[in-house]
Structure 1
Amino acid sequence: MKRVLFICLGNICRSPMAEAVMRDLVEKRGLTSQIKVDSAGTSNYHIGEPPHRGTKAKLQEYGISTSGMKARQLRSTDLTEFDYLVCMDDSNLQNTIEMLRAEGHAKVFRFLDLTHHKKDVPDPWYSGDFQETYDLCVEGCEALLTKIEAEL
C-alpha cells in the first residue's frame, strides 16, 4: 500500500483538489486497494471545513467528488504514516519540513517538481483561478501516479 498526502496552507483549496483528482485517477485505474490518498494543511485556519466552494464547483465540472472531505492540520505522525508528502508550494514545503522535522526526507517534496513546470501551484484563494489550479493538479497527479505505478 502506498500512501499519499497532499499539503497546502489551509487544506480547503489546492490540497483537497489534488486529493480528489488523485482519488479519481486511482479509482479509474483500479488501484484503490493499493493507494490511499489524503490531504492536510500546515495551518489550523479551516479545520473541519469542507473544500472551498470554488474547489468544489471546479471538481463538479469534471464529475469529481469531494464527498466526506474535511480540512485537517498536518500531524507529526504523517511523516511515518505516508510514503509521499506532496507540498503545493515552496512555503508549504518549508513549513512541512519544519513542523515534521523532515529535513532531507526524500518523501517530502514540492508537487510540481514531478512535472516540467518547476513552480508552485498558485493558491486560488488569492488568485480566484480554480481552473489553473485544477489543470496543474491533473498534470501533477498523473505524474505522481505514473511514479507510484512504477514502484508497485
Structure 2
Amino acid sequence: MRKVRVVFVCLGNICRSPMAEAVFRSLVEKAGLVDVIEIDSAGTGDWHIGKAPHEGTRKQLDLHGISYAGMKARQFTAKDEGFDYIVCMDTKNEADVRRIIGSAADSAKIIKFMDMLPQHAEDDVPDPYYTGNFDYVYELVVEGSEKLLERIVNDLK
C-alpha cells in the first residue's frame, strides 16, 4: 500500500507547522498508522531553514510528552506538490502554496487548517511567533489534527 503523505505549512516552519507535524505524528503513532501515513512540515519563507522548532513550540510539546526530535525547518517548494494533503495554517500561506505549485494546485489536496474547525471564529491558526500564545495554538492544533486523521482514515476506506 502506498503511503498517504501529509505536509503542514506555515510561514517560517518553526512554530505552527512543526507543532502540527509533531502532534499529528503522535496521533498517527497512537492509531497504529505509521506504516500508512507519512508526515512532514515546511514554511513558505526561507529565513529559518535548518533551525529547530521555536522554544514556545518545544515547551508545549515537552509539556504534553510529544517528540520533536530531529525536526528542522525547511522551505516549501514546487516538489512538495506530490503530497496528498497540504495543510496550510493560514490564508496567506495557502495562497503562497498555490502560487508555488502553480497548476498542480488543482489536483493537490490543499486544506486550510481552520476549515476543519468550523466551530471556531478564526479563519487562520494565530501565529504564536507574534502573539506568544502557544497554549491556544496547541489546543487548536490538537483539535484540528484529530479531525484531519479522521478525514484521512475515512478517505482510505
For the superposition of Structure 1 and Structure 2, which TM-score range results when normalised by the shorter chain? over 0.9
Q: Which residue of 2 aligns with 1:26?
A: 28
Q: Which amino acid aligns with 1:127?
A: T
Alignment of 1:34-113 (within 5 A): 34-80=36-82, 82-101=83-102, 102-105=104-107, 107-113=109-115
| Amino acid corresponding to residue 53 of structure 1 in structure 2 | E
Helix, strand or coil at the partner of 2:78: coil
Query: Mind listing any 5+ residue stretches in structure 2 that lack a counterpart?
Result: none
Q: TM-score, normalised by structure 2?
A: 0.93
Residue 10 of structure 1 aligns with which residue? 12
> Following TM superposition, by how much is the alpha carbon of 1:103 offset from its aligned partner in structure 2, in angstroms?
4.4
2:135 to 131, 144, 147: 131
Q: CA RMSD in A?
A: 1.1
In the alignment of these two chains, the number of paired residues is: 151
* 1:140 shift after superposition: 0.7
Q: Is the 8 A contact 2:81 2:105 kept in 1?
A: no
The alpha carbon displacement at 1:4 in A equals 0.4
2:84–2:108 contact (8 Å) kept in structure 1:
no
How many angstroms apart in 2 are the aligned matches of 1:104 and 1:112? 20
Structure 1 stretches lacking a partner, 5+ long: none
Distance 1:35 1:104 in 2: 22
Question: Which digits, 9 at most, give the CA deviation of each residue in 1:113-138, with x for residues without a partner?
Answer: 11223610000000000011100100
Amino acid at match of 2:134: F
What SS is found at the alignment partner of 1:77? helix
Distance 2:6 2:29 in 1: 14
SS at match of 1:97: helix
* Aligned-partner Cα distance in 1 for 2:117–2:151: 11
Residue 143 (structure 1) aligns with: 147
Query: In structure 2, what residue type is equivalent to 1:38?
Result: D
Deviating above 4 A after TM superposition, structure 1's stretches of 4 or more consecutive aligned residues are: none
TM-superposed CA distance for 1:105, in Å, is 4.0
